Amino acid sequence: MPVQFSRIRIAGFKSFAEPAVVEILPGLTGIVGPNGCGKSNVVEALRWAMGETSAKSLRGGEMDDVIFAGTAARAARNIAEVTLRLDETLGSAPSPFHEAPELEISRRIERGNGSVYRINGRETRARDVQTLFNDLATGAHSSGLVSQGRVGALVAAKPDERRLLLEEAAGITGLHARRHEAELKLRAAEANLERAEDLRGQLDVQLESLKRQARQANRYRAISGLVRAADAELMALQRARAEALRATANAAFVAAQAAISDFTIRATETATEATSAAAALPAFRAGEGEARTALERHRIAGEALAAEFEAVCSALARRNGPLASIDIARILEVLADRHFLDVPFSSLADGAT
Ligand code: ATP
């Protein structure tokens, strides 16, 4: 049994604001309606779900135009979805759907977000859907889909265009599509290879530069190791010097502390002495006053004594002749033996005679 389209479900696509299901029963299925009721939209929904990429061929400016745009009575939609059901697909579909007895292929578009394809609920690429229909000798551009005015175009077709028709009838369109895809892949692989070669060239240049940098880094590591060792030595020396200075400073500190305590003791002693001296000072002052008084008294007495001595000498001279004959030494001896203040000179002179 050949593969059969058994159902089309259209929702939000063009004039189909509400979901509509078209059952395609065995035999001939016709859609009848007045002009502009949406008959062509059904065929377009079929082609769109099979992977049509040209918005123009769907009578739109861009792909979002297939979404229901609203009418005076209904708001616009943001999503359109068309689902095709295929029966008797066992052994006809490419892997991994080769074993599936029926397929449900859907395309869903969200305004501004592009299309998402699913085969039996599994998300897939547009190209896989297109290839699947090519393998089934149909598709969005299949000559099996004859739209308005296309019959005349086929009659007048050029040999190349007819060849496409014959190839499709022979069921090798899928192979062509695969070959095309393989060629695209090959070209992409060649481009990748070239890019990889370019990259390899760039990487070689980078490798050289990296090797140079690695050599520099090694040299830097070695030199910085030496610098670190020298730094460590220098710091050890500085530390030893600092330790020695600290020891000297410590010794000086201890000596200074000892000197301070010595000075403190001496200062205490001196203060004590000063206190004692200050205490003794009034007595000394009093003694000094007394001594001064005594001195003055002695000076006055001395002066009186001297005057008396003069007088005695004069009297002696008058009585005994010149003074030279007087025994002065004897007088002084007497003065020394007796306290001269207590003994008047007149009595001395009397005694001397
Ligand atoms: P004819 O027999 O004249 O070709 P038809 O029955 O095939 O007509 P279609 O051309 O399929 O009708 O449908 C045209 C209708 O679909 C128009 O009324 C148009 O307003 C409506 N339509 C197309 N695109 C949209 C859209 N994005 N949103 C809402 N309505 C749309």
> What dihedral angle (degrees, nearest 10) is formed by the CA atoms of 49, 54, 56, 60?
50
For residues 172 and 312, the model is more confident at: 312
Q: Is 65 in the pocket of ligand 1 (CB under 6 A)?
A: yes
Residue whose CA is closest, atom 8 of ligand 1? 36
In the reported structure, the alpha carbon of residue 16 is separated from the centroid of ligand 1 by a whole-number distance in angstroms of: 9
Residue whose CA is closest, atom 17 of ligand 1? 36
Residue whose CA is closest, atom 18 of ligand 1? 36
What's the rounded mean pLDDT across residues 77-103? Answer: 87
Name the residue of 35, 39, 41, 146 whose CB sits within 8 Å of the most ligand 1 atoms, as the mutation to test its pocket: 41
Residue whose CA is closest, atom 13 of ligand 1? 38
Choose the weakest-confidence range: 65-79, 93-107, 141-155, 227-241. 141-155
In a domain, residue 168? The reply is: no
Question: Of ligand 1's atoms, which has the minimum distance to the CA of residue 44?
Answer: 11
What's residue 352's pLDDT?
Answer: 43
Percentage of the chain surpassing pLDDT 70? 83
Distance CA 305, CA 167 (A): 180
Greatest Cα-to-Cα distance within the chain, rounded to the nearest angstrom = 207
Q: Is 68 in the pocket of ligand 1 (CB under 6 A)?
A: yes
Among 83, 105, 140, identify where a domain stops: 140
Decide if pLDDT at 343 tops 50: no
CATH number at residue 30: 3.40.50.300
In a domain, residue 175? The reply is: no
For residues 120 and 29, the model is more confident at: 120
Distance CA 172, CA 183 (A): 16
In the reported structure, the alpha carbon of residue 41 is separated from the centroid of ligand 1 by a whole-number distance in angstroms of: 6
What's the rounded mean pLDDT across residues 72-79? Answer: 93
Q: Is 37 in the pocket of ligand 1 (CB under 6 A)?
A: yes
What's the rounded mean pLDDT across residues 260-267? Answer: 95
Q: Is 38 in the pocket of ligand 1 (CB under 6 A)?
A: yes
What's the rounded mean pLDDT across residues 251-266? Answer: 95
In the reported structure, the alpha carbon of residue 269 is separated from the centroid of ligand 1 by a whole-number distance in angstroms of: 129
Check residue 12 and give left, alpha or beta (phi > 0: left; psi -120 to 50: alpha): left
Name the residue of 8, 18, 40 whose CB sits within 8 Å of the most ligand 1 atoms, as the mutation to test its pocket: 40
What's residue 148's pLDDT?
Answer: 65
What's the rounded mean pLDDT across residues 150-154? Answer: 69
In a domain, residue 49? The reply is: yes
What's the rounded mean pLDDT across residues 21-37? Answer: 89
Question: Of ligand 1's atoms, which has the minimum distance to the CA of residue 60?
Answer: 24
In a domain, residue 325? The reply is: yes
What band does 307 get if pLDDT is binned at 50, 70 and 90? confident
What's the rounded mean pLDDT across residues 72-94? Answer: 89
Mean pLDDT for the chain overall: 85
What's the rounded mean pLDDT across residues 250-267? Answer: 95
In the reported structure, the alpha carbon of residue 22 is separated from the centroid of ligand 1 by a whole-number distance in angstroms of: 17
Q: Is 69 in the pocket of ligand 1 (CB under 6 A)?
A: yes
Q: Tell me the per-residue pLDDT of 110-123, one tens digit each, with 9 for 90 and over.
A: 999 999 999 999 99
In the reported structure, the alpha carbon of residue 20 is separated from the centroid of ligand 1 by a whole-number distance in angstroms of: 15
Distance CA 40, CA 13 (A): 12
**Considering its fold, how many domains does the chain have in total?**
2
What's the rounded mean pLDDT across residues 291-316? Answer: 84
What's residue 136's pLDDT?
Answer: 75
For residues 295 and 144, the model is more confident at: 295
Among 140, 160, 181, identify where a domain stops: 140
Residue whose CA is closest, atom 20 of ligand 1? 15
Among 140, 173, 208, identify where a domain stops: 140
In a domain, residue 339? The reply is: yes
The 3-class secondary structure across 206-239, one letter per residue, is HHHHHHHHHHHHHHHHHHHHHHHHHHHHHHHHHH
In a domain, residue 228? The reply is: no
What band does 200 get if pLDDT is binned at 50, 70 and 90? very high
In a domain, residue 195? The reply is: no
For residues 125 and 305, the model is more confident at: 125
For residues 133 and 48, the model is more confident at: 48
**Domain extent for 126:** 4-140
Question: Of ligand 1's atoms, which has the minimum distance to the CA of residue 68?
Answer: 28
Q: Is 33 in the pocket of ligand 1 (CB under 6 A)?
A: yes
Q: Tell me the per-residue pLDDT of 182-191, one tens digit each, with 9 for 90 and over.
A: 999 999 999 9
What band does 17 get if pLDDT is binned at 50, 70 and 90? very high
Decide if pLDDT at 85 tops 90: yes
Decide if pLDDT at 237 tops 70: yes
Count of beta carbons in the 10 Å neighbourhood of residue 89: 22
Decide if pLDDT at 305 tops 90: no
Residue whose CA is closest, atom 23 of ligand 1? 14
For residues 338 and 175, the model is more confident at: 175
In the reported structure, the alpha carbon of residue 46 is separated from the centroid of ligand 1 by a whole-number distance in angstroms of: 15
Q: Is 34 in the pocket of ligand 1 (CB under 6 A)?
A: no
In a domain, residue 282? The reply is: no
What's the rounded mean pLDDT across residues 225-240? Answer: 96
Residue whose CA is closest, atom 27 of ligand 1? 14
- Phi, psi at 234, each rounded to 5°: -60, -45
What's the rounded mean pLDDT across residues 89-103? Answer: 82
What's the rounded mean pLDDT across residues 255-280? Answer: 94
What band does 2 get if pLDDT is binned at 50, 70 and 90? confident
What's residue 348's pLDDT?
Answer: 47
3-class SS of residue 124: strand
Backbone CA torsion sign across 22, 24, 27, 29: positive
What's residue 279's pLDDT?
Answer: 92
Decide if pLDDT at 328 tops 80: no
Decide if pLDDT at 317 tops 70: yes
